[in-house]
Structure 1
Amino acid sequence: MYTDIHCHGGGGHSFGDTVEGTLAAFAAHRAHGTGRVVASLVSEPLERTAAAMDVIRQAMALDAGLLGVHLEGPFLAPGRKGAHDASALAIPTPDVVDALLDAADGIVRQITLAPELPHALDAIERFVEAGVVVAVGHTEADAETASAAFDRGATLLTHAFNAMPGITGRTPGPVGTAIADRRVSLEVIADGIHVDPRLIAMLFNAAPGRIVLMTDAMAAAAAAPGRYMLGSLAVDVVDGRAVIAGTDTLAGSALTMDRAVEVCVDAGVPREAAMAAATETPARVLGR
């Protein structure tokens, strides 16, 4: 039974739109072996995020496999926003953080944020105190800033290599910093599109036991190609590749966890390690 800690939807539905759609999205992933999901939400105004969390809360009461919410935003770097509405991004000031936690009422399990934003390091501590796993992502952070975030309590890197600076000879960036820090686990989207399979194998070798397979799937996962919505943005899915309509910007994926495991194995990752990255490691990250 796989555990997917970063998934926006599937089967033609997005998490948080309706209770029925949320359950149907989970059912689509369950058919591919995923037994537990943290439902991810993209950046939107607080009112809409609160409404989506309420929908997910109702769905959680009907299906124990729904573990809670992952907020991918709104505290993201504008230059690394990816498939997020720029107008919905925010600075993690104490009042905004507290408002978000109040609206969540205990169901947020994980949040992705850019640690270089004003107040972000203090926000990391506030979220950790509230029992939320903090992930560094959608960020312009250099190695020093990423390290400061990990020292303040962040323990995860959101979809390594995507929406962040890469590794060069003199700038290890967030990925290199996370690899070097044994307190930190690294998400990877193993669809063969977001990260070259050779790099996926390198990640498993560089950070054994700390790689988390996740899908970052949107509504098109386990569904037909076509146009879908991710938050307020239209997304076109062709040949398994999801992009913001009219652009080449990747917008989540159409991945399922069984496929992610096979991509890793095909890349040379031992099946036992790939399976652990889809089961034991994400559960450990969540403290389960």
Structure 2
Amino acid sequence: MPQTLQARSLVTASQTIQHPTVTISADGIITKIEPDSAPKTATNTLAATFFDIHTHGGAGHDFMEATPEVFRKLGGFLASHGVGHYLPTTVTASVDRTLTSLEGIAKEIERSSGSDWDAKHARPVGIHLEGPFISHAKRGVHPPAQILPPDIGLFDRFQQAAAGHIRLITIAPEIPGALDLIHHCAQQGVRVSIGHSNATAAEARAGIEAGARSATHTFNAMRPLDHREPGVLGVALDEDALYAELICDGVHVAPELVRLWLKAKGPHHGILVTDSMAAAGMPDGEYTLGTFKVHVADGRALAADDLARGKQTLAGSVLTLDRAVANLQRFTGAPLDVAVRLASNNPAILLGLGDTIDGIQSGKPANFNIFNQTGELEGTMLSGRLVQ
């Protein structure tokens, strides 16, 4: 049956509509949005569902497993935290393992566009290839033996295995051959993000000139800022047109620097991501990220091998995107409309998917996050059906 939603406000990509009534058809499509028609006593805020462009997994599973069962479980897990669409993200592994994972992920992306897809699950809409074309100096937990020099031919093999679904790739621009690969990817419409990089400022700018459009988990796995050599981090913060991811969990980046990032990137070029791994949504314990072990305790995911040697190396996060949005508001004082656009509208625009993913208008699927008056997520609707 048709249904209606009423709220205090509705946050769209370009405006905030006050006291709206949203009419939804029986098949989950928005048919009408009427401003100033809801009771003035309404307290909820409606906004687009989140789009996580950097997630390795959660609920005990890793996207590199690439099986239908894993995607069903993770699709439900992500939806329960407000995510409507996402890019399953790979981690550096052997070429054969990567090819196999890409083939499995591509099948699930194509299945998600079919009529048999469960509307209560977040939809994978592309792949984020993180590695193997990254810097050894800033590899984080990516296994050094599997890191490879940039290679157009190898990327094309990856894209063929992925059936053309690689939409985002992280590359360190300072590595020989990287600029040619960045240009090649950009020419194909694949967005390039600078990350896991020890680039100088000049090398980072060369990457942007070659076609890079974003920075991967800003501050993390980057050359640190120096007042005479700003490096890749300085360029990521200073270059107005460059999008920049942030893991807003209070572990990867201190609140003071979250505030600096928001001031630098503003409401239009900051992107909230999770970089979540299998332990997200799970109790403390031992998990895997790709092929290596991760120890999780007190909200921190650390590479187990490094930890055994007395070194603490972050290995993804246990963050969910609803918590990232709440943390951004808490750390910076940003209003809810700004926080949700950083997790929905901005990533969609970066990938050229703004009209399809976060389009809140008549004729589009009724995908909404519902926030209470304190700015916390209290419900999610996908194609007109409540997830939680």
Give TM-score scaled by structure 2 length. Answer: 0.72
Match of 2:259 among 201, 212, 231: 201
Give TM-score scaled by structure 1 length. Answer: 0.97
Q: Aligned residue for 1:89? A: 147
Q: CA deviation at 1:240?
A: 1.1
Match of 2:319 among 242, 250, 255: 255
Distance 1:56 1:96 in 2: 18
Q: Aligned residue for 2:160? A: 102
Deviates more, 1:63-72 or 1:2-11: 63-72
Q: Could you tell me whether the CA contact under 8 Å between 1:3 and 1:37 is conserved in 2?
A: yes
- Superposed CA deviations along residues 27-48 of structure 1, whole A, max 9, x for unmatched, are 2111010111100000112211
SS of equivalent to 1:70: strand
Q: What runs of 5+ residues in structure 2 fail to find an aligned partner?
A: 1-48, 114-122, 354-388
Q: Could you tell me whether the CA contact under 8 Å between 1:112 and 1:158 is conserved in 2?
A: yes
Equivalent residues in 2 for 1:33-48, closer than 5 Å: 33-48=82-97
Q: CA deviation at 1:183?
A: 2.2
Q: Aligned residue for 1:14? A: 62
Distance 1:100 1:66 in 2: 18
What is the identity, as a one-letter code, of the residue corresponding to 1:193?
V
Q: Could you tell me whether the CA contact under 8 Å between 2:105 and 2:162 is conserved in 1?
A: no
- Superposed CA deviations along residues 161-205 of structure 1, whole A, max 9, x for unmatched, are 000112221122112212222221000000000000111111111
Equivalent residues in 2 for 1:115-126, closer than 5 Å: 115-126=173-184
Q: CA deviation at 1:103?
A: 2.4
Distance 1:57 1:226 in 2: 30
Distance 1:100 1:121 in 2: 18
In our comparison, the structure showing a higher alpha carbon Rg is 2
Instruction: Report sequence identity in percent.
Output: 38
SS of equivalent to 2:315: coil
Name the structure with the higher helix share. 1
Q: Aligned residue for 2:296? A: 237
Q: Aligned residue for 2:281? A: 222
Deviates more, 1:41-50 or 1:95-104: 95-104
Distance 1:278 1:8 in 2: 17
Q: Aligned residue for 1:273? A: 338
Distance 2:285 2:247 in 1: 21
SS of equivalent to 1:38: strand
Q: What runs of 5+ residues in structure 1 fail to find an aligned partner?
A: none
Distance 2:175 2:304 in 1: 28
SS of equivalent to 2:149: coil
Q: CA deviation at 1:69?
A: 0.9
